Structure 1
């Protein structure tokens, strides 16, 4: 029996898109070429893998069985490629994903440190929400991702990097109106009508609600902003209050000089940021080296926020 990796990759594309034309575009071949490979794969296995219908395809039971095996095989292939790429530590090409509430603040500090470690390293950066980063990690489009821990995934290796505490941000007038003393603000004392949140799906919004013991439908001032910078600009102008991670303090204060911040009462709410990779990938030092660099960058930002 001869089954090729090309056939498996074509089948995986077809299983994902359930359409010969869209699958062919994904793997950069013509639709007839992909169809021929699928038929040859069916002939080699002696089973029908898909039911061809006018508007697409449906996987047969045999197709679903092959899908599970094909995914496992391609994961192993990606692991072999990773092992070859990273034999000499932090080098080659690195594909790194970061969540949007981290990327614009950490990267300007981290990238020079990475370059100083290895000038020949090619870096590809993807900024996306947690669910998208995890999907790209699963499919091998990312080598590692920086996001909030824990992921709750046993198939991933997690390396905690640093603690990023939350600050309450708003206009000076709004902060003063809270009447808080030196002990700080209690999250559960915040008025939900004044809380500005990011779009649903951003982990920072979920973390803020959890800290305050609220649900999204309890907040009335929900502008659905897609970036932390937008929220900070609105908060600085008195439209409400928002949660500001320490790593973002320097950048957002520079962009919105009217932005005022106040510490929360102890224990201060925070998030634990970490680096994750596929457990199946071989680790030849690059992951530990990258985690150390990102930790240094994060601690520089959090230390500056706490000292200031």
Structure 2
């Protein structure tokens, strides 16, 4: 007798939630039913997968190995379902993951274009940080992800989208020192104790540190959870931050006191891309990437108007 896909899904849910009760809620079954399926899976495989503890579970060595393989198997099954669903191109249901520093700006335009292209397209959007989205991509919970390159995993199919340049944001008073000498404005000239960044885990925060040649966060860093929060803070005089062009139209409208200045050439930038699992029928990815590029180009044009 072989393990069933249902048993593998239940086991992955148990491993990810750390308890039978929480896992049962995740997969919408009763706790006894889930517990019975896990026992049957252990019997079929002939190994103990979890240690039952007073407050949850702990994976055994065999359990960790089975978890890795289960995720791989479920991911392949999801890829099979996805390939069949999208075999006719950009139709049916599309599950798209987008990082938080892109989603609020690109999606309103891109989704409008997608709807105009095909009103029957069922679009499901997942907004999360890069690491989580790549896990979802591997597990087949999303079909594609919009993220910034480079990515921490290999073996993905990549469709480049846009080069999203960074600009310096703050009050006009804080930016005044560079007004007469714009060629002096380089990321490495910024004082670490003046730079505000997003919370740790956001790839944009890591990119900002890298382009500024900084090893850590300054004393004034407030660890904001969104670019909107950062923009509001620096517009009120709480330091400086780096904003991507894709966000300029929205953030300058929301924070009237925000002043912007471009860096000297070459301007620092991040490369945005549409990524998906390699292999399979990717005929739907090219038209999706084209629509995302068009939406990105519109935002880039607005950025040049807001900050020439």
* TM-score normalised according to structure 2 size: 0.92
Is the deviation greater in 20-29 or in 42-51? 42-51
- Give 1:69 deviation, angstroms: 3.1
Distance in 1 between residues matched to 2:191 and 2:52, nearest whole Å: 56
Question: What corresponds to 2:97 in structure 1?
Answer: 97
- Give 1:136 deviation, angstroms: 2.0
- Give 1:165 deviation, angstroms: 0.4
Q: 1:17 to 1:233 in 2, by over 3 A?
A: closer
Distance in 1 between residues matched to 2:123 and 2:283, nearest whole Å: 17
Is residue 267 of structure 2 the alignment partner of residue 243 of structure 1?
no
- Give 1:295 deviation, angstroms: 1.0
Give matches, 1:149-168, under 5 Å: 149-168=149-168
Per-residue Cα deviation, 1:160-217 (whole angstroms, up to 9, x for no partner)? 1010001111111211133442436111111222212111222111111111111224
Question: What corresponds to 2:257 in structure 1?
Answer: 258
Distance in 2 between residues matched to 1:256 and 1:228, nearest whole Å: 11
SS class of match (1:258) = coil
- Give 1:77 deviation, angstroms: 0.9
Q: 1:288 to 1:53 in 2, by over 3 A?
A: same
Distance in 1 between residues matched to 2:135 and 2:201, nearest whole Å: 14
Question: What corresponds to 1:229 in structure 2?
Answer: 228
Per-residue Cα deviation, 1:238-290 (whole angstroms, up to 9, x for no partner)? 2221111111111111112221111101110000011111225x234111111
Is the deviation greater in 164-173 or in 148-157? 148-157
Distance in 2 between residues matched to 1:71 and 1:113, nearest whole Å: 34
Question: What corresponds to 2:288 in structure 1?
Answer: 290
Question: What corresponds to 1:212 in structure 2?
Answer: 212
Distance in 2 between residues matched to 1:24 and 1:136, nearest whole Å: 20
Q: 1:53 to 1:291 in 2, by over 3 A?
A: same
Q: 1:39 to 1:185 in 2, by over 3 A?
A: same
Question: 4+ runs of 1 displaced by more than 4 Å?
Answer: none
Distance in 2 between residues matched to 1:209 and 1:271, nearest whole Å: 12
Distance in 2 between residues matched to 1:157 and 1:212, nearest whole Å: 30
Q: Given that residues 83 and 281 in structure 2 are in contact (C-alpha distance below 8 angstroms), is that contact kept between their aligned partners in structure 1?
A: yes
Give matches, 1:1-308, under 5 Å: 1-183=1-183, 185-217=185-217, 219-279=218-278, 282-307=280-305, 308=308
Distance in 2 between residues matched to 1:163 and 1:284, nearest whole Å: 23
- Give 1:72 deviation, angstroms: 2.5
Q: Given that residues 88 and 284 in structure 1 are in contact (C-alpha distance below 8 angstroms), is that contact kept between their aligned partners in structure 2?
A: no
Please, which runs of 5 or more residues in structure 1 have no aligned partner?
A: none
Is the deviation greater in 55-64 or in 193-202? 55-64
Distance in 2 between residues matched to 1:261 and 1:211, nearest whole Å: 18
- RMSD of Structure 2 on Structure 1 (CA): 1.9
- Give 1:112 deviation, angstroms: 1.4
Please, which runs of 5 or more residues in structure 2 have no aligned partner?
A: none
Distance in 2 between residues matched to 1:128 and 1:199, nearest whole Å: 13
Distance in 2 between residues matched to 1:166 and 1:61, nearest whole Å: 46
Q: Given that residues 165 and 267 in structure 2 are in contact (C-alpha distance below 8 angstroms), is that contact kept between their aligned partners in structure 1?
A: yes
SS class of match (2:77) = helix
